[in-house]
């Protein structure tokens, strides 16, 4: 678990620093927020490739998928060093392919070895790495930018991901503990219940990324936060996310995964409302972001546990499909976020996030009715 969490932290840091430093990348590549947001959005859709590895995951290849994905992330950092918006786009696509496959590889590995009654604890522990991507990664990236310019973070990503790949490759794997009578997932189609769980998790993802992708620009444009200040803000919210993902690990199994996830998404809506009312107030805007991150992190992490049991006969395929569909919703949200931000300021992305969040609450209610009642 320590190795998995550390490798996932490298993956998340490689990915999460980008939205917070769009201003720096705008200058580096001589482009605009809308263009970079579109690259992030379309790059997110590269995660659709996970749908191709569902059978491999169900056949016990989670370890190999994860190592190959980390190597892809390492190569992505080298591509961006070429220094144009076209190379950045290619780099981000490969980064997203790697990040998506690390995610499904690790979640499938855990789901095949840990019972559903304890699964949120294990997935939540690995997903504390999402917070470390900000808590540690963002300030490190700010220091690298300050010391070496915009290329610093990409070099750091390449080296760190290569080390992580070696660490996972040398890990001693443990055998899966599949429930008796559960058949391999090859050739199995997802059930209606599984699709509802996948749709719920995808809606949660869209509710988060639509606003997250423009947070750095909003902090700089409207709240007057500098590049170094953005690094500190990201670190602060990484702390909040760490608390939230740790809460998922500690309490979701006991509080009820479906019920507590619905509540967390309503918290997201509250945070979005505060952000929309912030105006130019850094205090109010920071409070809204804090509430937003608190709810989103708990919700997205716990939704992964729900998806992992949506179809026990093909967990790998369900998890891979969830990643692919979530990629579509996140990508659409990111692309629209750039356009909406330039047209309406932060109110545009916030409104779209709120709509996705309310849809997620409705779908999670259906998950409770159709799935959790039978477990």
Tens digits of per-residue pLDDT, 114-135? Answer: 888 888 889 989 988 877 877 7
Q: Rounded distance, CA 360 to CA 102, Å?
A: 24
Q: What is the DSSP string of 96-112?
A: HHHHHHHHHHHHHHHHT
Per-residue pLDDT, 187: 54
pTM beyond 0.85: the answer is: no
Highest mean pLDDT among 47-61, 62-76, 214-228, 312-326: 62-76
Place of tokens 């992992």: 308
pLDDT confidence of residue 175:
61
- Give me the mean pLDDT over the 220-249 stretch: 76
331-352 pLDDT, tens digit per residue, is: 888 889 988 998 999 999 999 9
Query: Taking the alpha carbons of 71, 324, 351, 31 in that order, is the dihedral positive or negative?
Result: positive
Answer yes or no: is pLDDT of 105 > 80: yes
Percentage with pLDDT > 70 across the chain: 93
Confidence bin at 271 (pLDDT 50/70/90): very high
**Angle of CA points 189, 192, 194, to nearest 5°:** 75
Alpha helices in the chain (DSSP H): 2-20, 22-29, 33-44, 54-58, 62-80, 85-111, 116-126, 128-135, 137-148, 151-169, 192-212, 215-221, 227-255, 257-276, 282-308, 315-344, 347-370
pLDDT at 235 over 90: no
Alpha-carbon distance values, 190 to 104, 199, 309, 364, 369 (Å)? 16, 12, 12, 18, 18
Question: How far apart are the two ends of the chain, measured CA to CA in Å?
Answer: 26
User: pLDDT for 297-317, tens place per residue?
Assistant: 899 989 998 998 888 888 889
Contact 91/154 with Cβ under 8 angstroms? Answer: yes
Q: pLDDT tens digits, residue range 171-207? A: 876 666 554 344 454 456 788 888 999 999 999 999 9
> What gap in Å lies between CA 151 and CA 74, rounded to an integer?
14
Q: Is the dihedral of CA 216, 266, 132, 202 positive or negative?
A: negative
Helix 282-308 vs helix 227-255: angle between axes, to the nearest 10 degrees? Answer: 40
Give the pair of three-digit tokens for residue 127.
């997903």
- Set out the domains of the chain in order of their start, with CATH numbers: 2-172+190-374 (1.20.1250.20)
Cα–Cα distance for residue pair 29/151, rounded to 1 Å: 11
């Amino acid at each position: 678990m320590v190795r998995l969490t550390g490798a996932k932290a490298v993956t998340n840091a490689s990915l999460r620093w980008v939205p917070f430093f769009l201003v720096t990348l705008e200058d580096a590549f001589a482009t605009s927020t809308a263009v970079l947001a579109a690259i992030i959005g379309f790059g997110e859709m590269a995660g659709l490739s996970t749908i191709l590895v569902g059978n491999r995951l169900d056949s016990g290849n989670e370890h190999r998928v994860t190592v190959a994905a980390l190597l892809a992330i390492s190569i992505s950092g080298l591509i961006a060093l070429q220094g144009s918006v076209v190379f950045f786009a290619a780099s981000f696509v490969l980064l997203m392919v790697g990040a998506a496959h690390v995610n499904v590889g690790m979640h499938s590995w855990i789901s095949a070895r840990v019972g559903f009654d304890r699964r949120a604890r294990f997935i939540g522990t690995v997903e504390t790495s999402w917070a470390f991507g900000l808590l540690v990664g963002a300030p490190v990236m700010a220091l690298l930018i300050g010391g070496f310019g915009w290329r610093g973070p990409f070099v750091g990503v390449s080296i760190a991901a290569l080390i992580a790949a070696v660490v996972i490759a040398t890990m001693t794997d443990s055998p899966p503990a599949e429930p008796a009578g559960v058949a391999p997932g090859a050739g199995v189609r997802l059930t209606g219940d599984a699709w509802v769980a996948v749709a719920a998790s995808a809606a949660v993802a869209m509710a988060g990324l639509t606003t997250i992708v423009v947070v750095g620009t909003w902090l700089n444009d409207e709240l007057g936060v500098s590049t170094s200040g953005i690094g500190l803000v990201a670190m602060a919210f990484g702390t909040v996310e760490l608390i939230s993902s740790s809460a998922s690990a500690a309490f979701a199994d006991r509080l009820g995964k479906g019920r507590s996830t619905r509540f967390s998404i309503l918290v997201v809506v509250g945070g979005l409302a505060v952000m929309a009312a912030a105006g130019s107030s850094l205090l109010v805007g920071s409070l809204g972001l804090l509430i937003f991150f608190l709810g989103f992190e708990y919700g997205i992490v716990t939704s992964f546990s729900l998806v992992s049991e949506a179809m026990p006969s093909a967990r790998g395929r369900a998890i891979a499909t969830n990643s692919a569909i979530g990629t579509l919703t996140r990508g659409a949200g990111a692309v629209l976020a750039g356009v909406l931000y330039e047209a309406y300021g932060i109110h545009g992305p916030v409104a779209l996030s709120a709509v996705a969040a309310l849809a997620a609450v409705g779908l999670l209610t259906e998950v409770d009715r159709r799935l959790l009642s039978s477990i």
